[in-house]
Structure formats: C-alpha cells, structure tokens
Amino acid sequence: MTNSNQIIEKLEHLNPKKIIIWTLVFLGSIVMVTPIIFMISMSFKTGQEVYIFSLFPEKATLKNYIFVLTDSKFIYWGLNSLWVATFSTLSVLFFDSLVGYTLAKYNFRGREIIFVAILSTLMIPTEMLIIPWYMMSREFGWIDTYWGIAFPGLMTGFGTFLMRQFFMNLPDELIEAARIDGWSEFAIWWKIAMPLVVPALSALAIFHFLGNWTAFLWPLIIINDPDMYTIPVGLASFNGEYEMNWEIVMTASCLATIPTLFVFIFLQKYIIKGIMLAGLKG
C-alpha cells in the first residue's frame, strides 16, 4: 500500500522538462559507447561480413577470438602488461607517497626547490627522453626486460604533487603525538599517515595503472622480442602494410579493452570517488 503511494509521489515529481533532459543525457551516453559496441560487433564477424554495416552479425563466429588467443601471443602480452603495470604502480604508490609526505610534513632547507624541481618534470615530454633512455638501457642490459619497460615510470611528478596535497591536510598533532610516543619516522609514515590517504592512493593507483596499461611509445622501443610485448605494442603488430584484417584488429582491440572495462564495472565506486578527490585537490 505504502509502496504504490511512494510511486505515485515520485511520478508527481516528474515533469516533461526533466524527462527530456534525462532522455538527452541518456542518449548522449549511448552515443559515447557506440564505438565500443561496434568494435565488439565487428569482432564477431567474418572477414567478408565485416564490410557490411550491421549491428548483429548474420553468421556470428568465435573464429577471430580463437585466432587471437591461440595463434598470436596475445596471452603473453596480457601477462606482460599486467606484470609491468602492477610493478610500476606499486613503486609509484610507495615512492610518490614517501616523497609527497616528506615534502608536506618536514621542514628543511631546500624543500621548496626539490618540490618545484619535481613538479617541473611534468613539463618534460617523454618524447624528449626516449633516446637517452634507450642508450642507458643498452648500457645496463635492460633491453627486453620488465625493468627496461618499467623504469621510466617508477616515480612521477603528478603522483608526488597529488600525495603532497593530501598529506598537507593531515593534522600535524597526530604526527607529533606519535613521535612523542617513540615511533620511528618511517613507521609514522607507513602506519599512521598512509592509511589516512587511502582515497588518494586509490586514485593514483588507478591513474597510473591505466596510463601504464595503455602506454605505447616507450615499450615499442625497448622491446624487441615479440614474447615480451605489452598489449598496445602487440595490438599494433596486427597492423602491417602487408597484412591488415579488420576483423582480427577489432577482436584484438576488444581483448585489449574488455579487461579494463570489467575492472571498472566492479570498482566503479572507488574509481570515480578517487578521480573526484584528485580533481578537487588539483
């Protein structure tokens, strides 16, 4: 009885204007995902059918997926991407927080210089650094290694900046109290400060992981061995002057994109929250 009353109440709140707005916004969101829907649709089509414009394939086939998953090294690439992105993200979470905390909570001569210097690295485009990096990698034998792919991104100016903002908001008294209690500086950072900035950490983790997952230029240069490719580099290998099959390309693109979509669906709440926080503090 009360339920239908509530529904009637809700319906009374509706007015045409709201409905129009809702519809427009909703349609907009559909337009946004259309490219992805078509990408998925094409991945199920055969080489001939892919040229026909339609949403649902007439003869849906899994052949393309089987090809990409078994005949190519896609699975290796996925694991490589996963490993490198995870390692890099953990490093960033550790070091960017450490540096951000130090710059936020310690007073020492040269602090501002260090901060500005690190911030200035945001201005340096990676395109400028790739050749010096390669020469360095060759010197130390980092070609075709996970370390070689990951090292340029182990610490970032953006992450440091972000964490510093968050740490600055922590009350100094908390830290002072811990010091008086005899806690080591490291323990204060690790056990007291860090748990308080978890939202920022998750935002940073997501940004960095995503950026790493889709990174293209550097992995392209540092990896020679096709077994060691990351996903974007592997994707590009489906596109050659002498060989480009659209249905395979679309399938590979789907496989490259779908995992991130799934993660997003499950972690949506945290991801969005993290980004909101990042934006507010930025």
Partner 1 sequence: MKKIKLLLFSIFGSVFIFGSILANAVEIEYWQYTYKARVEAIDKLIANFEKANPGITIKHINFPYADYRKKVAIAISSGDGPDLVQLYYGWLNDYRDSGLIQPLPKDAFSHDEIESNFFKMVSSMKVDGEYWGLPTAVRSLALFYNNDLLKEAGLSGPPETLDDLVDYAKKLTKRDGSGNMIQEGLAFDGGIGQTHHFWREVLVRHYGGQPYSDDGQKIAYNNDAGVKALTYLTDFEKTHKTTSNGFMNRGQDGFAAGKVGLYIDGSFRISKFVKAEGLNFSISELPGHNGTRYNFSSFWANALSSKAKGEKKEAAAKFLAYLTSDEAMQVWLDTVGELPAKPSVALVDANKQHELYGPFIRGLDYATATTFISEKPQRQSVVDAYDMVVLQGVSPKDAIAKVAKKEQELLDDFFGN
Partner 2 sequence: MIKNFWENLSINQKLAITAWVFLAIPIIFYVTIRFYPTYEAFYVSFMKWNLLGAKKYIGFKHYIRIFNDEDFWIVLWNTIKYALIGVPISLLISFTVAYYLNEIKFGHQTIRAFYFVPFLTTAIAMAWVWRWFYQPMPIGYFNIMLSYVGIPQQPFLRSIEQALYSVMAPAVWAGLGFQIVIFIAGIRAIPKSHFEAAEIDGAGRLQILKEIILPALKPTTIFLVVISTIGFLRIFDQVYSMSEDSAGGPLNATKPLVLMIYEYAFDIYKLGRASALTVILFLLLLTVSLLQLWFMRKQK
- Give the integer Cα–Cα distance in Å for 39 and 61: 14
Q: Which two tokens stand for residue 7?
A: 């529904």
Q: How near is the Cβ of 244 to partner 1 at its closest, in Å?
A: 8
Nearer residue to partner 1 within complex by CB, 130 or 263: 130
* Interface with partner 1, residue 127, by CB under 8 A: no
- What is the H or E stretch that residue 126 is in? helix 126-140
Among the listed residues 9, 58, 112, 127, the single contact to partner 2 using CB under 8 A: 127
What's the rounded Cα separation, in Å, for the pair 159 and 131?
24
Nearest approach, Cβ of residue 66 and partner 1 (Å)? 16
x/- track of binding to partner 1 for residues 205-234 (CB under 8 A): ---------------xx--xxx--------
Q: Which residues from 242-281 bind partner 2, rule CB under 8 A?
A: 246, 249-250, 252-253, 256-257, 260-261, 264-265, 268, 272, 275-280
3-state secondary structure 218-262: HHHHHCCCHHHCCHHHHHHCCCECCECCHHHHHHHHHHHHHHHHH
Nearer residue to partner 2 within complex by CB, 228 or 278: 278
Kindly tell me which residue out of 138, 172, 260, 272 binds partner 1, with binding defined by CB under 8 A. 138
Binding to partner 2 (CB under 8 A): which residues in 184-203? 185
8 contacts which partner out of partner 1, partner 2, none, CB within 5 to 8 A by kind? Answer: none
Q: Choose the contact partner of 117 out of partner 1, partner 2, none; CB within 5 to 8 A by kind.
A: partner 2
Tell me, residue by residue from 79 to 118, as one string, x for binding to partner 1 by CB under 8 A and - for no binding. Answer: ----------------------------------------
Choosing from 114, 168, 196, 267, the residue that interacts with partner 2 (CB under 8 A) is 114
Other Cβ atoms less than 10 A from the Cβ of 277: the count is 19
Which residue lies nearer to partner 2 by CB, 99 or 228? 99
Nearest-angstrom CA–CA distance, 36 and 192 = 43
> What are the residue ranges of helices labelled H in the chain?
2-13, 16-43, 63-66, 74-105, 111-120, 126-140, 146-150, 157-168, 172-180, 185-187, 194-196, 198-213, 217-222, 231-236, 246-281
3-state secondary structure of 273: helix
142 near partner 1, rule: CB under 8 A: no
Residues 6+ positions from 76 with CB-CB distance below 8 Å: 227, 228, 229
**Using the rule CB under 8 A, which residue among 22, 51, 140, 264 binds partner 1?**
51
List of residues 6+ apart from 89 with CB closer than 8 A: 205, 208, 209, 212
Counting contacts by CB under 8 A, is residue 28 touching partner 1? no
Q: State the residues that interact with partner 1 by CB under 8 A.
A: 46-48, 51, 134-135, 138, 143, 220-221, 224-226, 236-244, 246
